[in-house]
Amino acid sequence: MSINQGLLDALRPAARLAPASGIVEMVNHGLEREGLIPLWAGEGDLPTPKFIRNAAVASLGAGETFYTYQRGIPLLRRAISDYMTRLYGDAFPFEPERFFVTGSGMQAIQIAVASVAGPGSSVLVPTPTWPNFPAAAELSGAEVITVLMAFEDGRWQLDIDTLFDAARPDTKAVFINSPGNPTGWTASDEELQKILSRARRQGLWIIADEIYARFYYGAANDGFRADSFHDLAEPDDRILYVNTLSKNWAMTGWRIGWIEAPPVLGTVIENLIQYSTSGVATFIQKAAVTALNDGDDFITEQVARARAGRDVVTEALSKLPQVQVSPPEGAFYYFFAVDGVEDSRKLGFEMIDQAGIGLAPGTAFGPGGEAFMRLCFIRQAASLREAMDRLVKMLG
């Protein structure tokens, strides 16, 4: 046995076996290509607006460089509570004590799953899915039970009974991502109610990922946002909501998000933050306060950009008879299959090499996505048009 193999074998299996990201593989292959248009990542092409960046600069200028509250600075917890009230109304009591600032939506997920599942337990995950949730669950020692969504008439559907029937006695939680990455699946009020009822009946936690709530193209809530568990649930239901500043405010590189939970869990969540990152830098939190308090107009711009991008892709894909997909109802991804193509990983490399566009292969999103490609459309329309011309030329 080589020394290197010995080192690897000496690791904890859950760490050693954590899956490599199927998106990173594409990025590594294509990032340096001149003129490549990247549509593989879950972010747009706009940097964080200046007024948000300035708030971080001012905080640094003021020397705010010390350890800070594990739960987040009070100003930010208040700003989150105000933002959530603007978004969901005041029927739900969004007091600041419900919110815990984390170093990204990803860390919110990691803490949420580590709070409720570990060795000897399992979690339910509908797939295709954003792969980081199941990976975080496996890292915490839990087993992941995947339940396939169905692709019918160009749309992804989730059979809620099938999902909950897959639970075992050791199942602790179910991951619900609506609007969904990569599928665009967006739960209706009735579906959310059914999920909530079954989760209550079976004593399961819901890990609710509604980070794309504003990227919604349907008719509910006057198109302002997708339906939410907040519309139906009690404040002390077993729901851990994860959220992020990344998408609404174009802050993917800052690494800040939050968990929303019944306040009684506060000490537990505070401890898990203490023993992982020990809190988020104050200057980043100050930028987040500005984003939340003053960033509503910017969100409107972001959503308009995504909506226009969605139209560009819809029109281009309609020219390809071998692609049958309906426009997604939420989030900012098209997830489509090409007739006759089984291996999306291979197609991903070909798109980079032959067409100069970078997409994420469906193999990166768990069972059910193998034949699909994910395309992120929150991007300046002219660049997206160019990307779609190249795609249509390559596949047409």
Ligand X SMILES: Cc1ncc(COP(=O)(O)O)c(C=O)c1O
Positions touching ligand X (CB under 6 A) are 42, 104-106, 130, 177, 181, 209, 211, 244, 246, 252, 257
Q: C-beta of 393: minimal distance to ligand X in Å?
A: 29
Q: Which residue has the tokens 């460089």?
A: 65
Asked whether 285 and 131 are in contact (CB, 8 A), the reply is no
Nearer residue to ligand X within complex by CB, 94 or 130: 130
Q: How far apart are CA 48 and CA 259, in angstroms?
A: 22
Q: Which of 46, 23, 134, 127 is nearest to 375 (CA)?
A: 23
Give residues with Cβ within 8 angstroms of 119, minimum separation 6.
Answer: 141, 142
The three-state secondary structure class of 370 is: coil
Residue 142, CA distances (Å) to 167, 195, 225, 272, 308 in order = 13, 21, 32, 17, 40
Residue 361, CA distances (Å) to 196, 311, 330 in order = 32, 22, 20
Q: How far apart are CA 166 and CA 169, in angstroms?
A: 10
Residue 108, CA distances (Å) to 15, 244, 266, 276, 347 in order = 19, 8, 13, 11, 33
Asked whether 206 and 191 are in contact (CB, 8 A), the reply is no
Q: C-beta of 82: minimal distance to ligand X in Å?
A: 20
Give residues with Cβ within 8 angstroms of 347, minimum separation 6.
Answer: 338, 341, 361, 373
Residue least distant from ligand X (Cβ): 105
Q: C-beta of 180: minimal distance to ligand X in Å?
A: 7
Q: C-beta of 106: minimal distance to ligand X in Å?
A: 3
Q: Which two tokens stand for residue 289?
A: 């306060």
Q: C-beta of 210: minimal distance to ligand X in Å?
A: 9
What is the pairing mode between strands 171-177 and 122-127?
A: parallel
Nearer residue to ligand X within complex by CB, 134 or 316: 134
Nearer residue to ligand X within complex by CB, 131 or 355: 131
Q: C-beta of 376: minimal distance to ligand X in Å?
A: 10
Nearer residue to ligand X within complex by CB, 181 or 285: 181
Q: How far apart are CA 354 and CA 351, in angstroms?
A: 5
Nearer residue to ligand X within complex by CB, 98 or 374: 374
Q: C-beta of 229: minimal distance to ligand X in Å?
A: 15
Q: C-beta of 318: minimal distance to ligand X in Å?
A: 26
Nearer residue to ligand X within complex by CB, 312 or 364: 364
Give residues with Cβ within 8 angstroms of 2, minimum separation 6.
Answer: none
Nearer residue to ligand X within complex by CB, 251 or 355: 251
Handedness of CA 267, 273, 279, 280 (dihedral sign): negative
| b/e code 231-270 from CB counts within 10 Å (16+ = b) | bbbeeeebbbbbbbbbbbbbbbebbbbbbbbebebbeebb
Nearer residue to ligand X within complex by CB, 250 or 395: 250
Nearer residue to ligand X within complex by CB, 38 or 390: 38
Q: C-beta of 102: minimal distance to ligand X in Å?
A: 8
Nearer residue to ligand X within complex by CB, 36 or 211: 211
What is the pairing mode between strands 143-148 and 122-127?
A: parallel
Nearer residue to ligand X within complex by CB, 105 or 368: 105
Q: C-beta of 109: minimal distance to ligand X in Å?
A: 6
Beta bridge partners of 360: 374
Q: C-beta of 181: minimal distance to ligand X in Å?
A: 4
